[in-house]
Structure 1
Amino acid sequence: MNPMAFIWLVYAAWILLIVYLTVSAFGAKRDTEEHMPQRLGLMVAMIAAFLLPRLSIFRFVNFAPVNAVLSSIGVVVTVAGMAFLVWARQSLGGNWSQIVSSKQGHELVTSGPYRFVRHPMYTGGLVACIGSAIVVGGGFVFLLILLGAIFLWRVGAEDRLLARQFPEEFPDYARRTKALIPFVW
């Protein structure tokens, strides 16, 4: 298979994921307050991730395409991460939010992938970024780094929000379920 085909597969998968997340957002419950800085921060991070590899100092991350075996593994990892993310999004239903925010009629979801980790959408997104970085390099390397930092901040922020909203249920759920990596952290 042509190495460029793997790159196009990864980009096509991301486009499909973005379309899915955009369309599925229409059924989400309303946020109780607006958080424009969070939305802008996420957008700036994604734009920066794909502009940074264009700077000569960071050209070393533009290592793709690699061999077909490694690219195949990267595509499988990308799709697996996205599948986990979509499963988590489906499990959340109307409780999903693009930002860290309380929802009207918010419910604590502990089923589906939330049985294994408290933040499976972040887990899936990071795994998809790792697979994409293997295949494409460049912007996905920086996306992994920047989203990783944002997701780590959001894990803490979401845990604090859920602890306030669900003072009876969340502490027990947090004790029995790891944040991002099953059985580890």
Structure 2
Amino acid sequence: MQTHTLSRLWVAAQFGLIGLMVLWPSPHWSRGWVSYLLLAAGAALVLWVFWHNRPGNFNIVPEPRQGAHLVTTGPYRWVRHPMYVALLLFMAGVAAAAHSPVQWALWLALCVVLNFKAAMEERLLSGVWPEYVGYQRVTRRFIPGVW
């Protein structure tokens, strides 16, 4: 399968899962502090990412944009994909508020999709920036010092 097609399939899967999580009916929506904490952490991380990255650098698909540059400061110093981490934190807040095993199953599926999307993105980034391979050696994908 072509890179262009595969990258769009990962994006479609990502947004499909987000849509299902947001729209899935739950009779037990709560306003617990855990869900608020996860939602706030995700939103704060998004703002930190925007602070350290130029808007022209972002791309919804895993393919690097023409003229983009490699960012290794701010949240990128700690993880290679802080925007994905922010999304996972935010959607974990949605799942925590829903109190639904279905929501958590969808969240786990989103984790899998973002992991595959990140792997594809990393392969493409290392083709554009040879220094990305060294960055991968010292910076974890999603969880600092762990994964």
Category of TM-score, reference length = shorter chain: 0.7 to 0.9
TM-score w.r.t. length of structure 1: 0.65
Q: Secondary structure at the match of 2:145?
A: coil
Q: 1:102 aligns with which of 59, 64, 70?
A: 64
Distance (Å, rounded) in 1 between the aligned partners of 2:35 and 2:17: 22
Shift of 1:65: 3.6
Identity across aligned pairs (percent)?
Answer: 28
TM-score w.r.t. length of structure 2: 0.80
Residue 42 of structure 1 is matched in structure 2 by 14
Structure 1's 181 and 163: CA in aligned 2 closer, same or farther, altered over 3 A?
same
Shift of 1:102: 1.9
Contact 2:21 2:95 in 1 (8 A): no
Tell me, which stretches of 5 or more residues in structure 2 are unaligned? none
List structure 1 runs of 4+ shifted beyond 6 angstroms.
none
Query: Which is bigger in relative contact order (C-alpha 8 A, separation at least 6)?
Result: 2
- Of residues 154-163 and 38-47 in structure 1, the stretch that sits farther from structure 2 once superposed is 38-47
CA deviations over 1:45-84 (Å, ceiling 9, x no partner): 3334456x55xxxxxxx46245x6xx11220121112211
Contact 1:73 1:131 in 2 (8 A): yes
Distance (Å, rounded) in 1 between the aligned partners of 2:143 and 2:90: 14
1:72 aligns with 2:33: yes
Report how many aligned residue pairs link the two structures.
141
Contact 2:39 2:90 in 1 (8 A): yes
Shift of 1:109: 0.5
CA deviations over 1:147-181 (Å, ceiling 9, x no partner): 212111111111101110101x1111111111100
RMSD of aligned residue pairs (Cα, Å) = 2.5
Shift of 1:37: 3.6
Shift of 1:140: 4.2
Bigger radius of gyration, 1 or 2?
A: 1
Residue 110 of structure 2 is matched in structure 1 by 147
